[in-house]
Amino acid sequence: MKRPIITDIRATTVTVPLEAPLRHSNGAHWGRFVRTIVEVETDVGIIGLGEMGGGGESAEAAFAALKSYLVGHDPFELEQLRFKICNPTASLYNNRTQMHAAIEFACIDIIGKFLGIPAYDIIGGKMRDEVGFASYLFFRLPNKDTGAGEVRTADQLIEQALSLKKTHGFTAHKLKGGVFPPGYELEVYRELAKAVGTDSVRYDPNAAFTVEEAVRFAKGIEDLNNDYFEDPTWGLNGMRRVRENTHMPLATNTVVVNFEQLATNILSPSCDVILLDTTFWGGIRACVKAAAVCETFQLGIAVHSSGELGIQLATMLHLGAVLPNLVFTADAHYHQLVDDIIIGGPMKYMGGKIAVPTGPGLGVEIDREKLGTYADLFKTLGGYLYDRDPSRPGWFSTVPNTRWANPDDVSADGILA
Ligand SMILES: [Mg+2]
């Protein structure tokens, strides 16, 4: 049987609206996600799908520039692909890890479609049929068109959590913090934990705290049903100092995102739970390999979300399906979106879980009409500044952050993204 060979690559930037702008310690998602959808074509008629974020910007031009590297490549040759695109020393100049991830997704999709098997059967075979998710709650600015959706107070946050729990069945809740002063967020988080009863909670201020603030915050929440405390401060050394001063497991998606850092974290532990991101780590297979190292050294793992539409979500589901040591629920921004670009519309949560796609490859296909609609929306709205908050002109993030948003300031309502 003739093996497929890559003949072309196409990239389309889309913008899909969020219910409301999502705030985080470094800025915000301004009421929408910008994602670049990648299609890798082959000489056997199979098209593989990939997806990448890019901090609010299009990555189309960068993918177009990869064409000469990819044409003629056999998609089965995944290890060769890694060195062709991001040899670790060559990558000092072009840093293509995330782009490699999107191409790897597409190659795995091609292999699966060619063999007629789902992606999980290519990367180890599934341990479970569905992957559990946490609710992923954000402080939000109001939707600019409807004025609805603001989350600033404890009452608004609890309303968001209970509504998502009712609709999707979540039993774990993650609060993205680092927006308002730590003392305020501590109170709000405690209120949230009380409101969700026996459900577990997790808090992630995106590394905005000093070590001292992180330890103070940890002591203030240690009595709650925490899964873990995620990236309270930045750097392996900072995390190590926090870890020495709390009983809670620390999780990270920022300071252990490659094998060098994973090795350092094993030799001198700073983090207990490694949040595996199929984009940040450079592909699904890198995450599977990292999970095996974590299994060996008995570090915890979970599946991380750096923002996703259905193609990226499929990579997270196939990853989550095959990991024997996956104990914690995954994160997804997915339920904050109003639509998707895959056929059949957004995937559904049932009992807080999403079923792993069982079709060939990643098991999702592009809805061409929606792709066109949301490509047009990107052309209309353009990118956004992921690392700026549209309600705080002139502000930019620092580590440690000392300039918090004011939780009493409702003037933000007038400056909408
Ligand atoms: Mg995080």
27-39 pLDDT tens trace: 999 999 999 999 9
User: What's the CATH number where 80 sits?
Assistant: 3.30.390.10
pLDDT at 392 over 80: yes
Q: What was the pLDDT predicted at 411? A: 58
Classify residue 70: in a domain, yes or no.
yes
Residue 231 gets the label, from left (phi > 0), alpha (psi -120 to 50) or beta, of: left
Longest CA–CA span in the chain (Å) reads 66
Task: Tell me, in angstroms, the distance from the centre of ligand 1 to residue 231's CA.
Answer: 6
Task: Tell me, in angstroms, the distance from the centre of ligand 1 to residue 297's CA.
Answer: 22
Q: Report the C-alpha dihedral over residues 408, 413, 415, 417, rounded to 10 degrees.
A: 120
Task: Tell me, in angstroms, the distance from the centre of ligand 1 to residue 348's CA.
Answer: 23
Return phi, psi of residue 16, to 5°: -115, 130
Same-domain check for residues 194 and 249: yes
Classify residue 394: in a domain, yes or no.
no
Classify residue 384: in a domain, yes or no.
yes
Same-domain check for residues 319 and 340: yes
Classify residue 413: in a domain, yes or no.
no
Same-domain check for residues 171 and 68: no
State how far the Cα of 351 lies from the Cα of 165, in Å rounded to an integer: 9
Classify residue 42: in a domain, yes or no.
yes
Domain that holds residue 353: 121-362
Neighbours of 101 (CB within 10 A): 29
- Helix 182-195 to helix 211-221 angle (10° resolution) is 30
Consecutive H or E run containing 213: helix 211-221
pLDDT at 273 over 50: yes
pLDDT at 414 over 80: no
Contact status, residue 303 vs residue 331, Cβ threshold 8 Å: yes
Task: Tell me, in angstroms, the distance from the centre of ligand 1 to residue 27's CA.
Answer: 14
Contact status, residue 239 vs residue 228, Cβ threshold 8 Å: no
Contact status, residue 313 vs residue 334, Cβ threshold 8 Å: yes
Which of helix, strand or coil describes residue 203?
A: strand
Same-domain check for residues 42 and 112: yes
Q: What was the pLDDT predicted at 295? A: 98
Omega into 75 within 30° of 0, i.e. cis? no
State how far the Cα of 348 lies from the Cα of 355, in Å rounded to an integer: 8
Q: Tokens in use for 366? A: 């592009």
Q: Please compute, for residue 192, the number of CA atoms within 13 A of its CA located in the half-sphere on the CB side.
A: 37
Average pLDDT, the chain: 96
Least confident of 86-100, 197-211, 299-313, 375-389: 86-100
pLDDT at 417 over 80: no
State how far the Cα of 68 lies from the Cα of 118, in Å rounded to an integer: 28
State how far the Cα of 300 lies from the Cα of 271, in Å rounded to an integer: 9
State how far the Cα of 186 lies from the Cα of 180, in Å rounded to an integer: 10
- Which amino acid does the sequence have at 172? A
Strand order of the β-sheet with 226-230 is 137-138, 172-176, 200-204, 226-230, 250-252, 273-276, 300-303
Same-domain check for residues 142 and 177: yes
Mean pLDDT of 146-160: 97
pLDDT at 416 over 70: no
State how far the Cα of 92 lies from the Cα of 126, in Å rounded to an integer: 35
Residue whose C-alpha is closest to residue 273's, from 245, 236, 302? 302
State how far the Cα of 186 lies from the Cα of 218, in Å rounded to an integer: 9
Task: Tell me, in angstroms, the distance from the centre of ligand 1 to residue 305's CA.
Answer: 8
Task: Tell me, in angstroms, the distance from the centre of ligand 1 to residue 253's CA.
Answer: 5
Mean pLDDT of 10-17: 98
Work out how many domains the chain is built from and give that number.
2
Judged on CB neighbours under 10 Å (0-12, 13-18, 19+), 134 is: buried
Task: Tell me, in angstroms, the distance from the centre of ligand 1 to residue 208's CA.
Answer: 11
- Total-model pTM: 0.97
Same-domain check for residues 181 and 267: yes
Listed residues: CB within 5 A of ion ligand 1: 204, 230, 253
User: What's the CATH number where 337 sits?
Assistant: 3.20.20.120
Task: Tell me, in angstroms, the distance from the centre of ligand 1 to residue 126's CA.
Answer: 26
Task: Tell me, in angstroms, the distance from the centre of ligand 1 to residue 207's CA.
Answer: 8
Classify residue 412: in a domain, yes or no.
no
Mean pLDDT of 109-131: 98
Task: Tell me, in angstroms, the distance from the centre of ligand 1 to residue 229's CA.
Answer: 10
Mean pLDDT of 322-335: 97
Same-domain check for residues 125 and 108: no
Task: Tell me, in angstroms, the distance from the centre of ligand 1 to residue 386's CA.
Answer: 15
Classify residue 414: in a domain, yes or no.
no
What does the pLDDT look like over 215-234, one tens digit per residue?
A: 999 999 999 999 999 999 99
Task: Tell me, in angstroms, the distance from the centre of ligand 1 to residue 185's CA.
Answer: 16
Q: What was the pLDDT predicted at 412? A: 53
Using CA atoms, how far residue 246 sits from 222, 271, 367, 400, in Å, is 8, 12, 48, 19
Classify residue 400: in a domain, yes or no.
no
Neighbours of 240 (CB within 10 A): 18
Same-domain check for residues 86 and 193: no
Contact status, residue 315 vs residue 350, Cβ threshold 8 Å: no
Same-domain check for residues 339 and 376: no
Task: Tell me, in angstroms, the distance from the centre of ligand 1 to residue 196's CA.
Answer: 21
Mean pLDDT of 188-204: 98
Same-domain check for residues 312 and 378: no
Same-domain check for residues 191 and 88: no
